[in-house]
Amino acid sequence: MRRNHEQRHRGKAVGDAEPFLTAMLPRIPRGVVLDFAAGRGRHALALARAGMRVVAVDYSVEAMRILAATAQTARLAIWPVVANLDSFHLKDDSFDAIVNINFLDRALFPKLERALRPGGVLLADTFLIDQAALGHPRDPRFLLGHGELRALAGGLEVEEYREGPVVYPNGERAFRASMLARRRKTN
């Protein structure tokens, strides 16, 4: 399994950030950001270029190697971490923002919420159930039902929420749910 995961990244370009992340960059607090399931770092790079310090976590050694080399060449504040995402410890009140794109573990959302500092934001963006008709992914465990992402926000204040088809510059389409939600500041 790990070998297949590593092969998926080998020799591949980093790629462009998801359009929702790019659109929300001005609303993400400048500070320490966690890019959870970072892959080769397309989102970590966009965040760091916008002036944030990024901790990028992924299971793939190869993906983190690619990201580390890219960040070092560009002199960006990114700290790649190889970790099992299922058991990665998230300390409460430790991040100004968390980005979780294309990784769906429903049980993770309460942990992400607690890991945000008061006033911090969670940006989540992944595939809707409608995506199965278009292709990958097809497994319902990795596809959100309509309205489900908003429900997963728990006690966060949802500031931006979108569901439906997305058309990329290259003409590809996907069905996505996207959310920017903020943890309330404590008095």
The count of residues in the chain is 187
- The pLDDT tens digits for 86-111 are 889 999 999 999 999 999 999 999 99
Q: pLDDT tens-digit profile of 31-56?
A: 999 999 999 999 999 999 999 999 99
Q: From CA 142, how far away is CA 101, in angstroms rounded?
A: 12
List of domains in the chain: 2-182 (3.40.50.150)
Residues 133-180 pLDDT 10s: 998 899 999 999 999 999 999 899 999 999 999 999 899 999 999 999
pTM of the model as a whole: 0.91
Is pLDDT above 90 for 11?
no
109 to 55, 67, 99, 157: CA distances (angstroms): 18, 25, 11, 14
